[in-house]
Structure 1
Amino acid sequence: MSDTIDGQDRPRGPHRPHRPRRTLLLVSAALAVVAATVTVGRLGLGGGGTDEGPGTPPREGTTVRVKRATLTERTSLDAQLGYGAEAPLPVKATGTVTWLPAPGTTVQRGEELLRVDDRPVVLLYGALPMYRDLGLTAPAPAPTSETAPAPPSTGKPAPTTAPGASERPAPDASADAASAPPRELRGMDVMQFETNLATLGYTGFTVDGTFTAGTARAVKRWQKALGLPETGTVAVGDVVYASGAIRTGKPGVRLGAAVSENALTHTGTARKAVVETSAQDASWAVRGTRVTVGLPDGRTVRGTVASVGAEATASAPEGGGEGTGGATVPVTVTIEDQRALGRLEGGPVTVTYVGRERRNVLAVPVSALVALAEGGHGLETADGTFVAVRTGLFADGDVEVSGPAVREGLEVRIPR
């Protein structure tokens, strides 16, 4: 046969046979074997390590150096920010509640907590509760002839008044009582009250635990400022003691109801975090332990473990199924810098504590570890050699490594 070119027939050239597809398949298989060999070297198969030839291109990935560092294990737990559980105030006044503060009100020393029969009940600071009226008391009456004990019997007849002798009248006990000065009340409760009175600026007496006439005069000035009758005596229901300023909670009574000891609840004024930690893993929760509190906006503040609950509570299992979860104990964390919390008064937060710590150890990023076929972990050096390592503490994305071939400054590859 011939081809037609420019209108002329020309003979065809010799026939070229087609190349078999087998050659292409063999080339593809060879490339797969090469790739598999690289992978085997990366996994550490075949023993110690595989050195790359001078013509082998470098593998992809960044390199880092083995460093000396202090690794610290940190654990974060869910917690709740708030003011703590509300507790009732020991209100001892009797009568009808005529005014209550709004929940969340901060009350300080000398300020009104509530009003009963339109009389203020005032907050003072102290640990001893109010258990009696404070004031000057009437002197004890002198014994009279009716109340005086009879003299001991001597067996002799009692003497009689001689005839013509004048009889002297018995002394008037009521007159003596009226002229005698009142008795001064003493006690630690008096000392506590006098300390508060002086702190509020009412002076003119000595803070010594003795309720004197000077104390009574200062009380009258204090009562006048409160709009109370100036009696100089403090009734047991006029004062409620607390350890410091308080934040009022939900009242236990309504206006117009009779006052009771549960009329008003309170908390402290400082916000704190409460975390329910596992009773089995609560060894970290020791009073005074420093922790970090993570806020919802991403900021962190420092906290201190203030108390650990003495009783464990069974928590509900995850998923809400039947049965009980692990037992937990409440851990209260105080926050010194309350301003750092801003306007946040409650909500979910995290509490992070430090567990184990390893100082001055060799470390690399966790991503630098490779699994060895013979077991364990290794590192790939910059020249392609694989060295076996022992791993220790994992913390903050780094891992402690050790081994005969591991040294500070060794350059290792982080594979992609």
Structure 2
Amino acid sequence: MKYKKLLCSAMLLGSLGSSTLVAFGEETIDSTSIEESTAISETSSSVKAVTNAPATSELTIEETQASTVASSEPTEEATGVDEEEYDAQGNLLFHHPIPFEEFTIEPPAFRAARASMTTQQAFINQIAPSAKTLASANDLYASVMIAQAIVESGWGGSTLSKAPNYNLFGIKGEYNGQSVTMKTQEWSEKEGWHYVNAKFRKYPSYKESLGDNVTVLKKTSFSPGNYYYSGAWKSNTKSYKDATAFLTGRYATAPTYGSTLNNVIETYKLTQYDSTGGGSNPAPIQTNAMYRLYNPNSGEHFYTANAAERDKVKKAGWRYEGVGWQAPRSGTPVYRLYNPNAGDHHYTPHVSEKNHLVKVGWRYEGVSWYSGGSKPLYRLYNPNAKSGAHHYTLLQSERNNLIKHGWRNEGIGWYGQ
């Protein structure tokens, strides 16, 4: 009798009522608001019942810029690779995907993507925990660091800032021997605006990119005892505005750089991430525990923030494996879908993947939780499984063990706390 109950448990999940489903928000986000990472997009065809039709591609920020460059600027392909990290004056070279005069705190591509939590806030939630920790430990303003990441990466929309590069600040050179070569636009008195191929630092995740920015701000020095960015340190300033003013003309030559950063900081209240002189900290980000369960018959793992749903699944014979991670109560929505033929679930933050699965017969079950924070949830695929083909884990050790047993690593599925 118990064996029969376990066999039916997968079917039970597909018929769970809406009263037990955690749906935190309405699905109003346009497909342009969230783009798939390279790892995910390359492996989306591995989802069961998904056809091999490629998803419609979208222009990156760099590609859009390249298509709108004035006719007076050269359009031929760049040759060679620029490996210079510093200019003639000793300034570290950066890549800015969006001209500062065109930067807006509400990019046009996101205006139709508003929901209970904006795409912009989702990006902030993703990098803020690491930025706050790093800034607090290094005499820097987290608010300025987050604002710089927003402006330098175009809200995480530039190709350089996405997986697998994670370069939020457009810093050239190598990081632990890793780099990526990309075309970038540069200015010189002799050539004017022109394109060159340049090497940029490549990071394992946003956390390392933020940490490297700290290194730049704290250790850049061209003479003993003199630090180039010391005027942006907390101990040498009265407020974040002093820091942004000091960075103008040094970190970026645009005269509007400081005012752009200030606008972002004020609009999104980023000073909440700056520890005050009295030692008080901003209120911790509110999260929900994500319960993880396992079906020993089908091999599927199931995830939910709903305690009632967790208990109902346990009664059906699933093994409760504890809390898988902490999910923020706001951020990028993660969608839940159900396959009535295989009896398993799939989770994705990508609108295009969700819509594609719905077209081929999966049932959309709403927003189950949100992505945000600094801890990646790894996504893996089992090409031999008939059910529960995808698995998601916070643990690198579990990910590595599954890869050794034949699972395919599909990169980072979403982020948690």
Q: TM-score, normalised by structure 2?
A: 0.20
The structure where strand makes up a greater share of residues is 1
More contact order relative to length (CA 8 Å, sep ≥ 6): 1
The structure where helix makes up a greater share of residues is 2
- Bigger CA radius of gyration: 1
